[in-house]
Structure 1
Amino acid sequence: MKKHKCGPRFKALLKEVKITPSEFATFCNVEPQHINNWYIRGVPYPRVEEIARLLSVNSQWLINGEGPKHPVNGQAPEQADKLLDTQEPREHYHVCIGSPDIELPLYKERPKALGSRDTHVVKIPGEAVRLPRRYLERLEVEPSRAICVPMVGDSMSEKIQDGSTLAVDCSLTHIIDGQIYALKHDGMLRIKYLHRLPDGALRLRSHNRSGYPDEIFSAEQIIKQNIDVLGWVFWWSTLNKQRPPVPFG
């Protein structure tokens, strides 16, 4: 886990607004010892934005002391205790108060217009997927850069079943050969193993290789066909397709 030299600033902020480690730990769904550890080691990277927002300071200032301490239109730190009850999370994801979970927005492939065959990948209003916060922290995934998408089709079975939900880290678009990525291909949502090839070419590989042969795109084709990597797939759900029969039922 990445650490920053923000421990002293974090500790001073809690003292300034008269919030005890136990009180702040309860709100953040962690043990009080975690808060004390943050005093020494710094706030874990995936939670810097959240903690800075709660304490009404700029995240960059919290990380390294650089730049203005408070947002231009933000509240002063003495108001941070009120923010624990009133402040709304960032639009991109939702911190579930009183729960160890985080809600990530759901994106799906949809027609660009009614009756159109052209599609694009868009956020679905009112739909979200809950994931344990610890999953993201373990992999150093910043919640504000994560989304969820569905798996459509059997090209990645048996590893990822049709209908599974996947979580994507949109900050990781640099291709590591053999990793699974979500990508947009002329507006179509695709999930594939990616491999870089010479001259800027790209190979898309399915887990179900018997039914889906490798696809190779040149650098020119990547541009022409609007192939764009959304991010690295770091989690997926799998649901059995059929309930087993009950014997002697």
Structure 2
Amino acid sequence: MNFQARITTAFQEENRRLKEAGGPRLTKTHLWQAAKVTSAAVTFWFSGANAADLDTCMKIAPLLRVRGQWLFDGTGPRHEISDDGGNEDHAPIRLVDAKASAGKGQIVFSDDITKILMFRRDWLAKNDAKPDQTIGFEVDGDSMTDMHIIDGSVVLANRRRTDPLSKRVYVVWIKGKLYVKELVKKDGVWWARSHNAEKADEYPDIEIDDPEARIVGRAFWCGFGL
């Protein structure tokens, strides 16, 4: 199997897996952005006119969920021991494009390859979070500052944890928009609560009464730049 066949096979297999998982499609744009090459170079790879060097293969292999060495020359196993992307120690977590997602009722991931965060697999496992069921969400606004969730920070949410627990923080859909809020239950009704004492009047509790409202996942980490 030559390089053209290897990259074509890996590309098609990964997109079949993403389709079955309901995830966003991998495109050739992702590859040339990750490799920091031109779009024409990627076209040459798939046409068989040229092949990528080892350094380039190592950059794009995590997106294809294959080993860089195998992609380069076909030696060794095709996949790492772990089969959920990234490498043996770290897994890629994609950031949601909140603006693109708003109003659509579905998660839309950013096409910007720089908006992929790498987290240690053992740390994710300690939080009972699988990489392919974890999303990154960039916070827009100051409604949760009292819980140290500030404007511009990134929250990770576990999509496997959608059962509401009172006084836990979740990423939720409400009336076509994504929010990061604490959920509280009052008189049998669930509400999304903000935490900014200085602007409490601006952020009243939101009753989750929209039939299309749903919990995307429970938030378990927040990070921001200094």
TM-score category, normalised to shorter length: 0.5 to 0.7
2:224 paired residue number: 238
2:214 paired residue number: 228
Matched to 2:129, the amino acid is: V
Structure 1 runs of 4+ aligned residues shifted over 4 Å read 87-90, 117-121
1:64 paired residue number: none
Do the aligned partners of 2:171 and 2:218 also contact (CA within 8 Å) in 1? yes
Stretches of structure 2 lacking an aligned partner (at least 5 in a row): 1-64, 67-75
Residue by residue over 1:154-174, the C-alpha shift from the partner in whole angstroms, topping out at 9 and shown as x without a partner, is: 111141111011111001010
Q: 1: distance between equivalents of 2:210 and 2:190?
A: 8
Shift of 1:136: 0.8
1:202 pairs, out of 150, 167, 190, with 190
1:190 paired residue number: 179
2:160 pairs, out of 171, 175, 186, with 171
Q: 1: distance between equivalents of 2:195 and 2:224?
A: 15
Shift of 1:196: 2.4
Query: Normalised by the size of structure 1, how large is the TM-score?
Result: 0.52
Q: Aligned to 1:110, what secondary structure does the other structure show?
A: helix
CA RMSD of aligned residues (A): 2.8
Greater C-alpha Rg: 1
Do the aligned partners of 1:183 and 1:231 also contact (CA within 8 Å) in 2? yes
- Relative to its length, the structure with more helix (as a share) is 2
Q: 2: distance between equivalents of 1:237 and 1:231?
A: 17
Q: 1:134 to 1:89 in 2, by over 3 A?
A: closer
Do the aligned partners of 2:194 and 2:205 also contact (CA within 8 Å) in 1? no
Shift of 1:89: 4.3
Matched to 1:129, the amino acid is: L
Do the aligned partners of 1:185 and 1:228 also contact (CA within 8 Å) in 2? yes
Do the aligned partners of 1:203 and 1:214 also contact (CA within 8 Å) in 2? no
Residue by residue over 1:84-134, the C-alpha shift from the partner in whole angstroms, topping out at 9 and shown as x without a partner, is: 46x9945xxx3225xx2211111122247xxxx956541112331111222
2:87 paired residue number: 96
Q: 1: distance between equivalents of 2:103 and 2:218?
A: 25
Query: Normalised by the size of structure 2, how large is the TM-score?
Result: 0.56
Q: 2: distance between equivalents of 1:185 and 1:96?
A: 36
Stretches of structure 1 lacking an aligned partner (at least 5 in a row): 1-52, 55-80, 241-249
2:140 paired residue number: 152
Structure 2 matches for 1:47-126, cutoff 5 A? 82-84=77-79, 89-90=83-84, 94-97=85-88, 100-111=89-100, 118=103, 121-125=107-111, 126=113
2:207 paired residue number: 217
Do the aligned partners of 2:167 and 2:182 also contact (CA within 8 Å) in 1? yes
2:10 paired residue number: none
Do the aligned partners of 1:183 and 1:227 also contact (CA within 8 Å) in 2? yes
Matched to 1:222, the amino acid is: D
Q: Aligned to 1:134, what secondary structure does the other structure show?
A: helix
Matched to 2:217, the amino acid is: G
Q: 2: distance between equivalents of 1:138 and 1:146?
A: 13
